[in-house]
Structure 1
Amino acid sequence: MATSTYTTLRRASVPALFLCAAAVLTACGDERPGATGAPGAPGAPISRDDGTAPSSGASPYVEPGVIDGAPHNRENNAYRRPGEMSVSGHMDAQAEVARMEPVLKRLWKAEKWDPDSVRAQLADKLGYEDELKVQEVYSTYEGDQDVTPEGAMIGLSVGEDSCVTAYVDKTGYGAEANGRFPETGCIRPPIGH
């Protein structure tokens, strides 16, 4: 019995159809660079910390939440993220922030932001001793030389897992409760490693 060309093509097309369907079904949920959709939906552009989406042509290897798109950014900057705090540690650190801010404000208004003056005032007014660390602001490279800006960086160990990280310089002052940094304790680590 002779088979027609139509029947032969039809028999050959069935396996090809199944292969195509399998390829389409296994690709579901894959993110595609440049795809549009609701934020967080499969195929949607990955958001950045600053609220903007990556430009078209962004690398498919960009980590979520990474501003510059560098692969392994999260691992490379792990030393800059503070550790977790217990609820009681956070409450204790917040109480110290409230105590420290008025002293930092007075220092800032008096233009006394050198580390020795800051350390003396915090020890005298608040009774901080061994748990307090005060140091110069990290130097930066400007032009062809290292420059150390005026100011002080402050780290106060409040408990086993909590700190107050603060600063005072000619631009202002601030203090926040946070966990310990892996390499620098309660002082915010420098950029670069």
Structure 2
Amino acid sequence: MSPTSEEAARAEAARIEPVLKRLWEAKDWDAERVRAELLGLGYRDEGAGGQDGRGTLSVRAHAPGDNPGASVALAVGDACVTAFLQSTNYQVKVNGRFLETGCFEPRGGH
């Protein structure tokens, strides 16, 4: 990832983290609620297309049998903000894109 994209992604991670913290503290980790809260920050839903501007957001519910929660991916240039929110904890980090899956970490690791 380029230094410019990494810097921009870190700024977006700083905007996302307080939202996820608030939702986690409220025990509200439903994927649709997480998506609605983050779209309120001005991101575009992945269905809107494109990867420029403020970023394209994708939110997925965790698979049945996994810890209930949601995973978040935000494209920022050639960098990504990835996050999760679940009953036990939440996390926000910045990373590059994965060849196989874009911003989401491939199942089973990279």
TM-score (structure 2 length as normaliser): 0.84
Instruction: Give the unaligned 5+ runs of structure 2.
Output: 46-55
SS state at 2:68 partner: coil
Specify the alignment match of 2:10 in structure 1.
Answer: 94
**1:138 to partner: Cα distance:** 4.0
Q: Residues 21-32 of structure 1 correspond to what in structure 2 (within 5 A)?
A: none
Specify the alignment match of 2:44 in structure 1.
Answer: 129
SS state at 2:19 partner: helix
SS state at 2:103 partner: coil
- The structure where strand makes up a greater share of residues is 2
- Which structure exhibits the higher relative contact order, with contacts defined as CA atoms closer than 8 Å and separated by 6 or more residues? 2
| Per-residue deviation, residues 95-135 of structure 1 (Å, max 9, x unmatched) | 011110000000101111111010001011x1111300000
Contact conserved, 2:96 with 2:103, CA < 8 A, in 1?
Answer: yes
TM-score (structure 1 length as normaliser): 0.49
Which structure: larger Rg? 1
| Per-residue deviation, residues 24-52 of structure 1 (Å, max 9, x unmatched) | xxxxxxxxxxxxxxxxxxxxxxxxxxxxx
Instruction: Give the unaligned 5+ runs of structure 1.
Output: 1-84, 140-146
Query: Number of matched residues?
Result: 100
2:7 alignment partner AA: M
Against the structure 1 CA distance between its residues 192 and 123, is the aligned structure 2 distance closer, same or farther, given a 3 Å change threshold? closer
Mapped to 1, the partners of 2:37 and 2:73 lie a distance apart of 14
Instruction: Report sequence identity in percent.
Output: 51
2:70 alignment partner AA: A
Against the structure 1 CA distance between its residues 171 and 151, is the aligned structure 2 distance closer, same or farther, given a 3 Å change threshold? same
**1:152 to partner: Cα distance:** 0.3
Specify the alignment match of 1:28 in structure 2.
Answer: none
Contact conserved, 1:138 with 1:190, CA < 8 A, in 2?
Answer: no
